[in-house]
Chains A and B, each alone.
Chain A
Amino acid sequence: MTTRHYELSHLRALEAESIHVIREVAAEFERPVLLFSGGKDSIVMLHLAAKAFWPARVPFPVMHVDTGHNFPEVIEYRDRRVAELGVRLVVASVQASIDAGRVVEETGPRASRNQLQTVTLLDAIEEHGFDAAFGGARRDEERARAKERMFSFRDDFGQWDPKNQRPEVWSLYNGRHRRGEHIRAFPLSNWTELDVWQYIEAEAIEVPEIYFAHEREVFRRDGMWLAVTEFVTVLPDEQPERRVVRYRTVGDASCTGAVESPATSVAEIIEEVAATRITERGATRADDRASEAAMEDRKREGYF
């Protein structure tokens, strides 16, 4: 018998770690919720949650913070997936927050609802009494996220205090909190973009069509290809044209850019991601380009 036999591949080791985190949250919290955007990371997270409790159902609901600026393929995917798994879907609507006067919509051609999501998210957490919220954030995405814990404590205002994080040692997660406070749990912390795609391939997980190359009417803004939709105003000097693109991330349609790509299969995406020299956020997220600390600032306020 060789010891080689007792090795786990990196994907199976990551999978085991994530499932452990998901079960810890389910065991120690009264009202967890899984934040689901329809993006590849939350899709993988939901897939792992389904595995963690199989053959029982996922013992917590799924929540979509809906900016109203959606890609129809993603909403269709969300509804189908939730029905397959038999989990409850909670939709927290940014439009409802605007209508209720909780937030004021940005104006101008570059208006985005990205920032507004934080208020909607925190309001929904309070309204439903959620004490833990799973997020699909990964540490490799962004520098502020590189310092995030698996179990990230949030105070009554949903704030993250990066200077005062709880030490997190071994796999002993401390989720103790008082009423009104909550924990964000990040089971995919140690996954990279490439790991996520390799896992999608290994598990044959379905993802929305917009991740694959398709022809779409787009225009160039801030070095990104933005889709022409009802949610954005094309400026006079911006020229819409048809290009073969795909999405590397799925977010608010008004600030998520597409990349030019011929990749039509998961295998081709893996090849592309392995060779790319630009991060997914750098390539596709206008919101992160606002400043060097854009993500940290949003996270401090309670963002995903």
Chain B
Amino acid sequence: MELLRFATAGSVDDGKSTLIGRLLYDSKSIFEDQLSAVEDASERMGLEGTNLALLTDGLRAEREQGITIDVAYRYFATPKRKFIIADTPGHTQYTRNMVTGASTADLAVVLIDARKGVQEQSRRHAFLASLLRIPHLVLAVNKMDLVDYDEARFDEIVEEFRAFATKLDVADLTFIPISALHGDNVVTRSDRMDWFQGPSLLHHLESVHIASDRNLIDARFPVQYVIRPQTDEFHDYRGYAGRVAGGVFKPGDEVVVLPSGFGTRIAAIDGPTGPVEEAFAPMSVTIRLEDDLDVSRGDMICRPNNRPAVGQDLEAMVCWMSEAGALTPRSKYHLKHTTRWARAMVTDLHYRLDVNTLHRDEAAESLGLNEIGRVGLRATQPLFFDEYRRNRETGSFVLVDEATNNTVAAGMILGVPS
């Protein structure tokens, strides 16, 4: 069974919690004790009906204030796939939450209220999904029951969203008219919208092809940990443990190790259950090399004729995620990229992006909380990287405040300065 990670974006008003509640309920992933606790709480709060948002909003402050503070993870499975939902709140801290929840997602579901159509918030969510290069985007047009399951209304919204989406970089865009409340097109196809020829949302989640979303071309192996047992039985064993970040590695492959640039061949690959003939993303394996080279954590194993960019200067889109302070030119941070830490200085802030209009403000002098912009960075040591659009693992980094140790920014590499 395959694993699909998806993020949901939208506000409570769009029926996101109802949708998640329905997916969990219909797949029998809500348990009786959870449901009865939520029913009791809804009644105590004097609500009409059961508020399924209480299933996910588990923190005291969330229940007291009726808000969602942070990303919540939910799990369900059907006979075809296992799903991990990163439920990201739509209002407050939307960038920070969506980046956190969606950075590893295969797919994003953005909810739209059929009565309201494409809102500023829907555009924002779709933009973030495209910025994060989530391979599949689903626009779920919800509350179709409140527009009489009207095909024309659905077409209108699709039209409007498509016009906006041409400005984005979305590989796979799917529109599904649903009613989360009544279950139309959520798990099974609705007979109230026989004009709609596509699959139900769950069927789409179960069948969307994700295996080829991973980069299977550019072999990248950031060395995470060196394994040297130094026991009698494994006296000469020296393995480089890590997680494949791209491409396919096989015993016998010619490889080079960066930064040294020394070449050798792969002698063997040990997987969690023994030797493997092939290793691909996201497998965690241990690679043994034919020659004894000086290899340590932070180094990168790749193929001689397909290497990542190597350099200290890079251009990136950055999301600032901290309340404390703002990103400004000349500020310095710790930077973590693959398994390598460096220090980095912001050399330029080229522009701040308005996530609603996509307007570039070149006069901007800083990036505040939840703001996104293009920056130039210089690192204290070389990084081995790819463009984020080519590889989400070797193209991403985080910035960490040197004083507080908090993670303050998420970065997506665009390339080297021109």
| A interface residue numbers (CB < 8 A to B) | 3-4, 6-10, 12-17, 19-20, 23-24, 26-27, 48, 51-57, 139-140, 142-144, 146-147, 162-163, 165-172, 174, 176-178, 189-190, 192, 194-195, 203, 276-279, 282-283, 292-293, 296-297
Taking CB atoms, residues of chain B closer than 8 Å to A292 are 37, 41, 63
CA distance A146 to B272 in the complex (A): 27
Chain A residues near B352: list those with CB within 8 A: none
* Bound form: Cα–Cα A23–B227 in Å: 10
Helix, strand, loop or mixed for chain B's interface? mixed
User: Which residue on A lies nearest to B57, using beta carbons?
Assistant: A143
Selected contact of B31 from candidates A168, A178, A279, A297, CB within 8 Å: A279
Which residues of chain A are within 8 angstroms of B96 by Cβ–Cβ distance? 167
B224 touches A23 (CB 8 A): yes
In the A-B complex, the 3 residue pairs with the smallest Cβ-Cβ separation, listed nearest first, are A143-B58, A282-B33, A56-B229
Apart from A8-B2, A53-B227, what 15 extra A-B contacts exist at CB < 8 Å? A6-B280, A23-B242, A26-B225, A53-B241, A55-B234, A56-B229, A143-B56, A167-B96, A167-B407, A170-B392, A172-B337, A178-B405, A278-B33, A279-B34, A293-B60
Residues of B within 8 A of A169 (CB): 99-100, 103, 396, 398, 407, 410
- B356-405 CB contacts (< 8 Å) to partner A: 392-393, 396-398, 400, 405
Binding site for A on B (CB under 8 A): 1-3, 28, 31-34, 37, 41, 55-61, 63, 69-75, 77, 81-82, 84, 96, 99-100, 103-104, 211-212, 214, 216, 224-225, 227-231, 233-234, 237, 241-243, 248, 270, 272-273, 280, 282-284, 286, 297, 321, 334, 336-337, 339, 392-393, 396-398, 400, 405-407, 410
B211 touches A139 (CB 8 A): no
B1 with A55: CB separation less than 8 A: no
User: CB-CB < 8 A to B103: which residues of A?
Assistant: 169-170
Task: Say yes or no: A171 contacts B407, CB within 8 Å.
Answer: no
Identify the interface centre among B280, B284, B334, B400: most chain A CB within 10 Å of its CB.
Answer: B284
B284 contacts A189, CB within 8 Å? no
> Taking CB as reference atom, which chain A residue is nearest B33?
A282
Report how far A12 CA is from B248 CA in the complex, Å.
17
How many contacting A-B pairs (Cβ < 8 A)? 195
Whether the Cβ atoms of A139 and B100 lie closer than 8 Å is no
- Select A9's contact among B1, B234, B393, beta carbons within 8 Å: B1
Q: Evaluate whether A278 and B32 lie within 8 angstroms (CB atoms) in the complex, with A16-B284, A139-B73 already known.
A: yes
Chain A residues with CB under 8 Å of B214's CB are 6
Cross-chain contact B31 with A54 (CB below 8 angstroms): no
A190 near B405: Cβ-Cβ < 8 Å: no
Known: A51-B272, A142-B58, A174-B405. A165 touches B37 (CB 8 A): no
Assembled-state Cα–Cα distance A169/B397 (Å): 9
For B58, give its contact among A9, A20, A147, A167 (CB under 8 Å): A147
B393: A residues at CB distance < 8 A? 170-171
Whether the pair A20, B243 counts as a contact (CB closer than 8 A) is yes
Closest to B241 in A: A23
Given A166-B406, A166-B407, A176-B400, residue A9 in contact with residue B2 (CB < 8 A): yes
Inter-subunit contact A296/B60 (CB<8 Å): yes
What CA separation (Å) do A195 and B83 show in the bound complex?
Answer: 12
- Is there an interface contact between A16 and B243, defined as CB atoms closer than 8 Å? yes
Q: How far is the CA of A58 from the CA of B53 in the complex (A)?
A: 41
With both chains docked as a complex, state the minimum distance between the C-beta of B55 and any C-beta of chain A, in angstroms. 8
* Neighbouring A residues of B242 by C-beta, 8 Å: 23
State how many angstroms separate the Cβ of A28 from the closest Cβ of chain B.
9
Contact A174 B400 (CB under 8 A): yes
Contact A277 B31 (CB under 8 A): yes
Q: Inside 8 A of A279's CB, which chain B residues have their CB?
A: 31, 33-34
Interface pair B33/A283, CB less than 8 Å apart? yes
On whether the beta carbons of B400 and A162 are closer than 8 Å, the reply is no
Q: Is the CB of A189 within 8 A of B73?
A: yes
Q: Smallest CB-CB separation from A192: which chain B residue? A: B75
Would you mind naming 27 contact pairs between A and B with Cβ atoms under 8 Å apart?
Answer: A6-B212, A6-B280, A7-B2, A13-B282, A23-B225, A53-B241, A56-B228, A139-B73, A143-B58, A143-B72, A147-B73, A163-B61, A167-B100, A168-B407, A169-B396, A171-B393, A172-B336, A172-B397, A174-B336, A174-B400, A174-B405, A176-B334, A176-B400, A189-B73, A190-B73, A278-B32, A293-B63
